[in-house]
Amino acid sequence: MISLPVLLQNSLIRLISSLLLLNLPVKVIKMVNHCLFAVILLMEMIVSGMRFGADALRMDYYIMACPFAEGIVKNTVNNALETDATLAAALVRMHFHDCFVEGCDASILIDSTRDNTAEKDSPANLSLRGYEIIDDAKEQLENQCPGIVSCADIVAMAARDAVFFAGGPVYDIPKGRKDGRRSKIEDTINLPPPTLNSSELVMRFGQHGFSAQEMVALSELFPYAGAHTLGVARCSSFKNRLSNFDSTNDMDPTLETTFAKTLSETCRAGDNAEQVFDSTRNTFDNDYYNALQRKAGVLTSDQTLYASMKTRGIVNAYAMNQARFFFDFQQTMVKMSRLGVKEGSKGEIRENCRKTN
């Protein structure tokens, strides 16, 4: 096939020949010549951009190949959440756990085999839920446009749609991620544990390119719990705060006394007993930050954000202004969705999200 710039060059030669026959001034011919060469250069740049940027993330990545992709994912998520609203937190948390280990490549979805223990069987991931929602969306998409939509994009879109369903901000994410081929339990060491203090969290998130403010905005998604403005934490992730906390304190001194009794009561039912993060469990809002101001953060990694002067101002700002929190959250989620993205031959489009092709 003849490229567009070549066609323009041929047209230029014909046009110049015609102008010479008209005996126009040389200055006019040169001016036309320069303009047409500029057009050719511009078209070459555009064509090159289309050619070399084919695998780059784009908002409209599926507009031609699978135009109903986003609608299918959104409807699947909404139908599931109408049945069980607690799955909103699960989907948002799944996206975080995926991106912070090997990048946003759906490695969290791969099942373990006899020869490999996958990420999802790590202690940090055992409480993850919502895999069946991703499976459902993937099956529909494979029927509609086989081999086009990646599992990694489905996870990212599902998290976005879950946030909106729960009352959170509207935001869009670029698409075009490929699915990874690696999923190993040892890689989950990159997930921040619930016992980290503020300085450790700032350092851990900084390794992924996030500022302290972005870390506080994403604190809603820390592991070993749900998305913290949604969902619950299990006793096993906070019982260390209730007794034998350190060499000086039996109980975590940053924990409000009455709330400590509430947590102790929860843990009487065992390590799997669940405690909500705030009073609006299934609503995406800023109440989580208000709880931190009352010293009612459930996890160490929650309350440390208010206890530390490095991050207290950010917590106060989000507690006071939900719109600011929403804006920062959506910006940071888009940034997180770009972590370690696989493109081109570095990834694949899985036929089944639970195993590599």
Residues comprising the binding site?
98, 101, 103, 105, 107, 119, 192, 228-229, 278, 280, 285
User: Cα angle vertex 23, ends 22, 26, to 5°?
Assistant: 125
Extract the tokens encoding 237.
């992730």
Characterize 44-78 residue by residue with b for buried, 16 or more Cβ atoms within 10 angstroms of its Cβ, and e for exposed: eeeeeeeeeeebebeeebbeeebeebbebbbebbe
DSSP state of 110: P
Task: For the beta carbon of residue 208, count every other beta carbon within 10 angstroms.
Answer: 17
DSSP 3-state assignment of 152?
helix
DSSP 3-state assignment of 344?
helix
Binding residues for heme b: 228
Q: What is the DSSP string of 223-288?
A: SSBS-TTSSEEEGGGTGGGTSS-SSS-SS-TTS-HHHHHHHHHHHTT-TT-EEESSS-TTS-SSHH
Element (H, E) at 356: none
How many whole angstroms separate alpha carbon 336 and alpha carbon 339?
Answer: 5
Residue with tokens 């106060």: 316
List alpha helices for the chain, DSSP H: 4-21, 26-52, 69-83, 87-99, 131-144, 151-165, 198-206, 212-218, 257-267, 287-293, 300-307, 309-320, 322-336
Binding residues for Ca(2+): 98, 101, 103, 105, 107, 119, 229, 278, 280, 285
DSSP 3-state assignment of 190?
helix
* Active site members: 97
Residue 310 φ/ψ region, left for φ over 0, alpha for ψ in the -120 to 50 degree band, beta for the rest: alpha
Q: What is the total residue count of the chain?
A: 357
CB 105 within 8 A of CB 347: yes
C-alpha 102 chain-centroid distance: 13
Binding residues for substrate: 192
